[in-house]
Amino acid sequence: MVMSYLLMRVFVGVIGIVLPWLLIVGNWAVGHGFQPSMSGYYYTPMRNFFVGALWALGIFLVAYNGYDRADRVITNIAGAATIGVSLLPTTPADNPALHQVVIGDLHLTCACIAFVMLAVMALRFAKREPTPPGLRFWPRVGYAFGFTSAACAGTPKWEIFVYRFSGIVILGCVLLIYPLSNVATYSLLTLETTMLVFFGLSWFVKGRRILTGG
């Protein structure tokens, strides 16, 4: 059971890291060029890879059990939102109908929710146990997000850095989506790729013990 639990983390990490490069390189290899966002690959020959990977991630996240109820709520929301991204395609580039615009807005909402939850989960990976009762508000918030030395006992410093840096990068990318949307053609694709890679990295590191035997 422990091996399966760790293996699930590794699989989630691998999917997160590999998916953007699979879509970008695969679509380019078949002669369809680059899309302005990862969601745009829904309308390319890479559609099945895109949808299939999102469903795999969504199911893994919903099935994942963390240290406490908060972990389960966070990953359940992230998983449901990820599946929502696959079910609600982004607005097509050419002459979209009104209903496609509405669905596209819901798609973007689901994507933002999923990435924010994954950022929070990456930060929470720095903690190794449920938040203890009796803490005051700000210490409790810090503990909940992994920002406490006590919660990091027994965890290598480089590992804590990976979790915290990954979470901060993902949140930063989410905040940059709108400001950069009209600056560069591939800004959204770049931000989404960055978020998925760091999300995958945090999960891969969390499950690395299955590979190291530690």
Of 84-98, 112-126, 176-190, the poorest mean pLDDT is in 176-190
Cα 58 to its chain centre, rounded Å, is 10
Provide the pLDDT for residue 154. Answer: 64
The two structure tokens encoding residue 115 = 């990435």
What pTM was computed for the model? 0.83
Nearest to 57 by CA among 115, 108, 107: 115
SS3 content of the chain, % helix, strand, coil (to 5): 75, 0, 25
Q: pLDDT grade, residue 109 (50/70/90)?
A: very high
Per cent of the chain over pLDDT 70 is 85
